[in-house]
């Protein structure tokens, strides 16, 4: 038994409309030189639909929107469209996801302002992927919903976001507004199905580090004659207390009569920690600084 292969080439055309799946049949219609046709005379080839017959929904904004942390309510419009195929009804849901690394009082507040039918949002967060409850201190109601495209309808929808004023200090916050489909064959454009909203930090959420007033007062010590002695210096962290920070402590000997050896020390101040106490050990060979 011998075999031969029949090869076909399908040319792809760039079209602006969606197409249904197409099925082609290849038939054996005859043989020569004494051969006859067998029972398997038809082969079928299916070309899948070019894209969703109901089209795609996508944002028209840039994928990343960066805002200065506002001192008064700021309105931001996000525009999305349905394009491509327009077959069938579809319901689209939007979700705003907060994935900020750290937290403070006064998280960004987002409020929807749709005027269309069945328009709503599902908000996740803050700082998690859990659904935000309607009663919360960060986001006003409504916090869920949907909007609707009817059969044959295309066009745009506008999402009005209201960014509320910053608090005393705030970390940089990032939100992702995502689209998902509740019903219908409508697809979300994988290249433009979400928008990241980044709101810059305000103030110094990680804190301001400085010596305490007591540490800054002038002190006079007699050089040790028998052994080392200790000097304590207190450092405070004010305003923001978010996150772990590293403080570098550098001391120089300004007078040759004082037996100090220049020393650089690194100390980690943990999240929410507000004070340090450094103890300087002075002796004839030099000094040692350590965190207590």
CA distances to 23, 65, 66, 158, 197 from 61, rounded to whole Å, are 38, 8, 12, 11, 11
pLDDT for 52 equals 56
| 89/28: higher pLDDT | 28
Q: Where are the domains of the chain?
A: 56-199, 208-291
pLDDT for 12 equals 54
User: Residue 113 above 50 pLDDT?
Assistant: no
User: Residue 23 above 50 pLDDT?
Assistant: yes
| 66/170: higher pLDDT | 66
Fold of the CATH domain 56-199: Immunoglobulin-like (2.60.40)
| 118/14: higher pLDDT | 14
Mean predicted confidence (pLDDT) in 203-228: 76
Mean predicted confidence (pLDDT) in 114-138: 58
User: Residue 90 above 60 pLDDT?
Assistant: no
User: Residue 14 above 70 pLDDT?
Assistant: no
Mean predicted confidence (pLDDT) in 214-225: 72
Q: For a pLDDT cut of 70, what percent of the chain falls above it?
A: 57
Read off the pLDDT band of 123 (50, 70, 90): low
Lowest mean pLDDT among 19-23, 57-61, 179-183: 19-23
Mean predicted confidence (pLDDT) in 80-99: 57
Read off the pLDDT band of 57 (50, 70, 90): confident
pLDDT for 263 equals 57
pLDDT for 59 equals 85
pTM: 0.56
Count Cβ atoms below 10 Å from residue 152 Cβ, excluding itself: 9
Read off the pLDDT band of 107 (50, 70, 90): very low
What confidence tens digit (pLDDT) does each residue in 220-235 have?
766 655 556 677 778 8
161, 110 in Cβ contact below 8 A?
yes
CA distances to 187, 248, 275 from 16, rounded to whole Å, are 16, 61, 64
pLDDT for 291 equals 43
Lowest mean pLDDT among 146-160, 219-233, 262-276: 219-233
Mean predicted confidence (pLDDT) in 135-157: 70
| CB-based burial, 10-20: b 16+ in 10 Å, e otherwise | eeeeeeeebee
252, 286 in Cβ contact below 8 A?
no
Evaluate the CA torsion angle 61, 92, 151, 50 in order and state its sign.
positive
Q: H helices within the chain, ranges in order?
A: 213-216
Read off the pLDDT band of 110 (50, 70, 90): very low
| 254/34: higher pLDDT | 34
Look at residues 231, 230, 265 and name the one whose alpha carbon lies nearest to residue 250.
Answer: 265
User: Residue 50 above 60 pLDDT?
Assistant: no
User: Residue 253 above 50 pLDDT?
Assistant: yes
Look at residues 281, 277, 124, 97 and name the one whose alpha carbon lies nearest to residue 198.
Answer: 97
């Amino acid at each position: 038994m011998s075999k031969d292969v029949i090869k076909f080439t399908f040319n792809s055309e760039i079209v602006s409309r969606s197409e249904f799946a197409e099925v082609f049949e290849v038939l054996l219609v005859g043989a020569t030189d004494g051969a006859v046709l067998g029972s398997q005379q038809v082969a079928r080839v299916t070309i899948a639909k070019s894209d969703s017959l109901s089209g795609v929904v996508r944002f028209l904004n840039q994928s990343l929107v960066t805002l200065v942390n506002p001192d008064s309510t700021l309105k931001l419009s996000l525009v999305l469209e349905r394009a491509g195929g327009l077959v069938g009804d579809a319901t689209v849901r939007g979700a705003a996801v907060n994935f900020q690394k750290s937290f403070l009082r006064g998280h960004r507040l987002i409020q929807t302002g749709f005027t269309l039918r069945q328009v709503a949002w599902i908000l996740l967060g803050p700082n998690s992927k859990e659904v935000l409850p309607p009663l919360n201190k960060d986001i006003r109601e409504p916090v869920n919903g949907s909007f609707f495209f009817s059969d044959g309808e295309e066009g745009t929808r506008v999402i009005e976001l209201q960014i509320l004023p910053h608090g005393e200090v705030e970390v940089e916050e990032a939100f992702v507004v995502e689209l998902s489909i509740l019903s219908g064959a409508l697809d979300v454009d994988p290249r433009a199905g979400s928008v990241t909203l980044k709101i810059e930090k305000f103030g110094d959420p990680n804190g301001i580090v400085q010596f305490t007033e007591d540490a800054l007062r002038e002190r006079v010590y007699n050089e040790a004659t028998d052994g080392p002695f200790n000097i304590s210096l207190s450092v405070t962290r004010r305003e923001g207390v978010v996150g772990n920070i590293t403080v570098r402590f550098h001391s120089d000997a300004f007078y040759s009569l004082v037996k100090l050896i220049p020393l650089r020390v690194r100390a980690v101040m943990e999240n929410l920690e507000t004070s340090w106490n450094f103890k300087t050990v002075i002796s004839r060979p030099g000094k040692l600084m350590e965190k207590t």
